[in-house]
Amino acid sequence: MITAEEVVEAAFDAMDGPFDWAGAQDCSATACAAYQRLTGIDLMFDLHGAYRSQSEALALIKRRGGFLKAWADQMALCGLSECEPKTGAIGIIHTENMVGRSLGLCVRPGLWVAKSPKGAAMTPANVERCWNA
């Protein structure tokens, strides 16, 4: 069982530093890196090096049917099941301070950690969908 402390530690390690679209420090890459640390599952196994800029990332998302569909398909491909928010789940979230959607990790229902412009940030969030192994 994954604990809230493990989620916070993995997320803050993976999400350290400023946001960057180069493929390793954006909301998706860092949430997936933290999730891999917690579970051993590489959710971006086929996406490493697939984009190097915001325009390339957005084009990839568009080709895959949008952010929600792209990640729902990727989670299914990796064997994850949709679940209710629970500690250790990865999900598509949005908050009052965010523009658009983000991948984040559930610290506990109602509290999520996601990549911010400067690093990891814990925040209450609205959850569109979430998954777990």
Helix (H, G, I), strand (E, B) or coil at 2: coil
pTM of the predicted model as reported, rounded to 2 decimal places: 0.94
Domain of 11: which CATH number? 3.90.1720
| C-alpha torsion sign, points 63, 83, 27, 49 | negative
Length of the chain: 133
pLDDT (tens digit, 0 to 9) for every residue of the chain, 133 residues total?
999 999 999 999 999 999 999 888 999 999 999 999 999 999 999 999 999 999 999 999 999 999 999 999 999 999 999 999 999 999 999 977 766 899 999 999 999 999 998 999 999 999 999 999 9
- What is the count of structural domains for the chain? 1
Q: What share of the chain is helix, strand, coil (3-state, %, to 5)?
A: 35, 25, 40
Enumerate the β-bridge partners of residue 71: none
Domain extent for 118: 4-132
